[in-house]
Amino acid sequence: MSVDDALFRFRVRVFALAEEMGSVRGACRAMGVHPSTFYRWKKLVERYGLEALRPRERRHPRMPNATSVFVEHRVLAFAIAHPGFGPARIAAELTRDKWGGIVLSPNGVWRILKRHGLNTRAKRLALVAGYAAPPELDREADKQPERHINAEKPGDVVQFDCFQIGRLKGTSGVAWQYTAIDVASSYTWAEIWVTPKNPSPRWTSTLARRVAADLAEHGWQLGRVTTDGGGEFRANEFRDTVAKLGADHVVVTRPQSNGCVERVQLTILNECWRPAFARHLIPRYTALRHDLERYLRYYNTDRAHTGRNNKGRVPIEILGKAKMWAH
């Protein structure tokens, strides 16, 4: 029984009690209703019947500057299709011609998601996965760092790092994501390989050769490689590979100094892995490799970046225009 049904039954009971007692005031006193209210209801009943006692449905007012229903549905559809995207990312993507050129502020996107209970990433992923996720704590907006890693052109600084995905069905080890990002263009390379326990310098060296080949194909030279102090980067195999490629290897001691690759791994986690693990009942190694390849294709060639260096441009636009820079 709904609240409206209970209220309707209460009002009908007032009329029935007044008829039983033969006194309107006595019935109103017993039910806690003012007599003027009873006679107002009585006029409606005499004209329209007892159904007039049901509460009226009240629609929410539509303000003149409110977001149209069409735009609201587009925002919800895009947010459900990309549950890892936040309000700023959704607003940036919807302004593109391929999504209809919808101009909406990140705050407006957040308000639309809030009205439908999808204002946090956990709620959107829970909707995709089909279960109720625990509420996510509100986090303060990240402050812009005072210092930034500067790179004048692609290839000047390329950061490397590894990210543990975990043990997957059909594998006999631990799946690791090997990631590299060009700081100047935000162009990203990532691969998944399985090792018995820790990351292997074999695959970090393979990734370094792939990065150098892709940069050379677009007319750039690998200049400096920055990594953390992991064993996969301190091994002689990786150091010799970087030296043969003609690049300098710098080992940083703070995560902030390798912040670009740390941030892109968080982006891949939110926009690729969490939706993938929410959709797949049992994630498999081959399927996740295809998901990563598909996401990187989108990330490098179709995703509008709002970072300090890209300013809304796609990474391939910066990496592919070698003539813009002086060698």
Residue 216, number of CB atoms within 10 A of its CB? 13
Nearest to 106 by CA among 94, 96, 118: 94
CA distance 156 to 323: 16
User: Within 13 Å and on the Cβ side, how many CA atoms surround 187?
Assistant: 25
pLDDT of residue 325: 42
pLDDT of residue 305: 80
pLDDT of residue 26: 92
CA distance 79 to 88: 11
Residue type, 306: T
Q: Which residues, listed in sequence order, are joined to residue 161 by a DSSP beta bridge?
A: 179
CA distance 316 to 3: 57
What pTM was estimated for this model as a whole? 0.62
Residues 283, 169 contacting (CB under 8 angstroms): yes
Nearest to 223 by CA among 247, 239, 241: 247
pLDDT of residue 266: 92
pLDDT of residue 314: 86
Q: Give Cα separations from 206 to 165, 192, 315, 323 (angstroms).
A: 19, 12, 22, 28
Residues 299, 315 contacting (CB under 8 angstroms): yes
Nearest to 108 by CA among 142, 140, 141, 74: 74
pLDDT of residue 286: 84
- 140: tokens are 């303060």
Sites in the chain below the pLDDT cut of 50? 132-133, 322-327
Residue type, 63: M
